[in-house]
Chain A
Amino acid sequence: MTEILSAPLVVEFPFTRSLGPVQSAFLTGLRERTVLGVRTDDGRVLVPPVEYDPVTANELRSLLRVAPTGTVTTWAWNPAPRRDQPLGTPFAWVLVRLDGADTALLHALDAPGPDAVHTGMRVRIRWAATRTGAITDIACFEPYDGEPGTTEPVPHGGEFTDSVTGITVPARLDYVHTPGRAQSAYLKALEDHRTVGERCPACRKVYVPPRGACPTCGIATAEQVEVGPRGTVTTFCIVNIKAKNLDIDVPYVYAHIALDGADLALHGRIAGIPYDQVRMGLRVEPVWAEGARHPDHYRPTGEPDAGYDTYKELV
């Protein structure tokens, strides 16, 4: 039984989105401590606003200003805040119907404990100190026992100086990736500068890198087979555009290489030969850099070229 490898895998991306006229007005409004809703065809005021009526699908553009105070319509106590949630201390998630609105907005409520929260309680917005035009410009809600805000929404043109037209929402998710048995064995073998594939028990083809299944037969592969180290270039291309952060001079050759004993070609860079002399059938071998986990590139072995018939099934 091969040891199962695992490694941290972080997926992190800035999610950049443009805003339509309604969302632009709403998020710019938050920056200016102004909450806008939109009136639907049946006269309801939606907060947060949307650009199309959820019932009729008609375009909505009639913006109105509502109060920064409201009523909790439902809540949930969160005893253990997770990374990136609005508050770092235990808080309540709340849906809040702001005074003047007919629908509710989701956000956090800063309260000392679940006993201090109930449906129907009055709350008000606590604004973030630094506001950029995002839902997080509302830092959270806080309990409020003052006078109700304006209940009649006030028409608003939605115009601000320097409107926010886009948002960038950073997102990060953390995983522990485990590649499974077949790829673990492949990666372990690479540590010894060996390449192992797996043979399909039905069609007898050797797949490299192995993924644990034969894509033709749809059955598990298990028999390990060492392939290479030498191989044959089955096809190639000449790369003329330098990739960002890639420390390789162009032009260079990127090739499919059928390692001896393998029934599937894998990818690799060809070096040690002028780019315009690389050819199908060229015999190559891997070159390992110090401490590397994969061959850095492949170079010619000096053997005579392989005959086309020996690799034509792998092109």
Chain B
Amino acid sequence: MRDVAIVAFAQSPHRRRTDELSEVDLLMPVLHQVLETTGLKANEIGFTCSGSADYLAGRAFSFTMALDGVGAHPPISESHVEMDGAWALYEAWVKIMTGEADTALVYAYGKSSPGQVRDVLTRQLDPYYLAPLWPDSLALAALQAQALLDAGHADRAALTAIATRSRTDAAANPYAQLTGDVPAGGLLVHPLRTGDCPPIGDGAAAVILAAGDTARALCARPAWIRGIDHRIEAHALGVRDLTDSPSTRLAARHAGAFERPVDTAELHAPFTSQEVILRTALDLGDDVRVNPSGGALAANPIMAAGLIRLGEAAARIHRGASVRALAHATSGPCLQQNLVAVLEGESAHG
């Protein structure tokens, strides 16, 4: 097996709207930044993979326009997932593990501002029984939060504490959209208050992956991907126990998350209630630093927020703030799909 690491990470400032920027305008600075960090030229990248969603822009094949930003001519080896960039990273990891490439550029972006993201996300639901009812993303998260409260797994104070911690931590994150004290706010969809929900915004992120000695040459302290896995649960919401996340737990087991404790966890929990579920599924103790970046409650660019969790966890390893970190990404309603990666610095490799 090859050792594969995240060697560079960059993200844009996340903002409520970026009318003056096209997708490629939004993306180019982060692409340039990761290339500059590693010293790689665009034509030296072995594989390029991206994550985005046409429904956010309302245009078919919108990712092809963003490709201008990576220098796609002369021809490059390229792929795209209509999902969060965390899944693009998984594809790139597979490409490197199979020896097809030694380096990979992974990027993701989401401009939510052109449309109504609550409505847009209804189009990813089952088209027979759910989509015709237009249950929006907050409504579905609220059903999950209420189930959690009814089960006694959390109370209002616990949810508020998560919101407060996230946004307080985000004050140290220059890219975050919401920082500092954010009042709990009014009820958006009961029981979710404004403070329990993520901001809607535009943003982009990019990472570079590299194998073995290439990674060591590109980065003083690579964030080695010790394990990565993703799992999905039953499609129908009413079949699942919404208070639990067995797919996260299974992905974590396959990623080796339970073999040794982690010191940091970047969890893709756009709603406060989802952090409670993920902490339990991942068996994270109070000694684990959760979402020091502020997490998705501080900045949630759709399709990039999961990749940012991997990038933030890696960046902590790069700067020596973490030895072993867990990164989690989710996609779909109520934590339907979950990806878990375990990242380690060199010293932890033994």
Contact = CB atoms under 8 A, between A and B. Distances in A.
Interface of A: 4, 6, 9, 11, 15, 17, 19, 23, 27, 46-48, 50, 54, 73-79, 82-86, 93-95, 97, 103-108, 114, 119, 134-136, 167, 169, 171, 173-183, 211-220
Nearest to A47: B238
B133 A76 contact: no
Contact of A93 (B139, B187, B235): B139
A181 B25 contact: yes
Contact of A213 (B68, B114, B119): B68
Given A173-B123, A175-B115, A218 B19 contact: no
Given A76-B145, A217-B42, 11 more contacts: A17-B128, A74-B147, A77-B142, A78-B139, A82-B119, A106-B130, A119-B147, A135-B129, A135-B130, A175-B58, A212-B25
A119 B145 CA distance: 12
A214 B67 CA distance: 10
Interface residues of B, number: 62
A50 B143 contact: no
Given A23-B128, A86-B133, A173 B143 contact: no
Interface stretch (B70-78, B213-221, B296-304, B318-326): B70-78
B133 A180 contact: no
Contact of B134 (A85, A216, A220): A85
Nearest to A74: B147
B22 A212 contact: yes
B155 interface: no
Q: Main SS of chain A's interface residues?
A: mixed
Contacts of A77: 142, 187, 189-190
Given A19-B128, A169-B131, A177-B58, A76 B71 contact: no
A27 B70 contact: no
A175 B114 contact: yes
B236 A54 contact: yes
A189 B2 CA distance: 53
A6 to B, nearest CB: 7
B239 A103 contact: yes
Nearest to B242: A74
Given A178-B19, A181-B22, A213 B123 contact: no
29 contacts: A4-B20, A46-B236, A50-B236, A54-B236, A54-B239, A76-B143, A76-B190, A77-B190, A82-B118, A84-B134, A93-B142, A95-B237, A105-B238, A106-B143, A135-B132, A173-B115, A175-B57, A175-B58, A175-B115, A177-B59, A180-B22, A182-B25, A212-B25, A213-B68, A214-B68, A215-B72, A215-B73, A218-B68, A219-B28
A134 B133 CA distance: 10
A140 B247 CA distance: 31
Nearest to A5: B19
B94 interface: no
Interface in B291-345: none
Nearest to B70: A218
A171 B134 CA distance: 9
B150 interface: yes
B171 to A, nearest CB: 30
A180 B114 CA distance: 12
B239 A46 contact: yes
Interface of B: 19-25, 28, 31-32, 42, 55, 57-59, 65, 67-74, 114-116, 118-120, 123, 127-136, 139-140, 142-147, 150, 187, 189-192, 234-239, 242
A167 B20 contact: no
B146 A85 contact: no
Contact of B123 (A47, A171, A174): A171
A6 B238 contact: no
Contacts of B20: 4, 178, 180-181
Contact of A76 (B120, B189, B236): B189
Contact of B238 (A9, A104, A180): A104
Contacts of A50: 235-236
A169 B139 CA distance: 21
A270 to B, nearest CB: 27
A73 B150 CA distance: 9
B105 to A, nearest CB: 10
Contacts of B74: 216
B127 A15 contact: yes
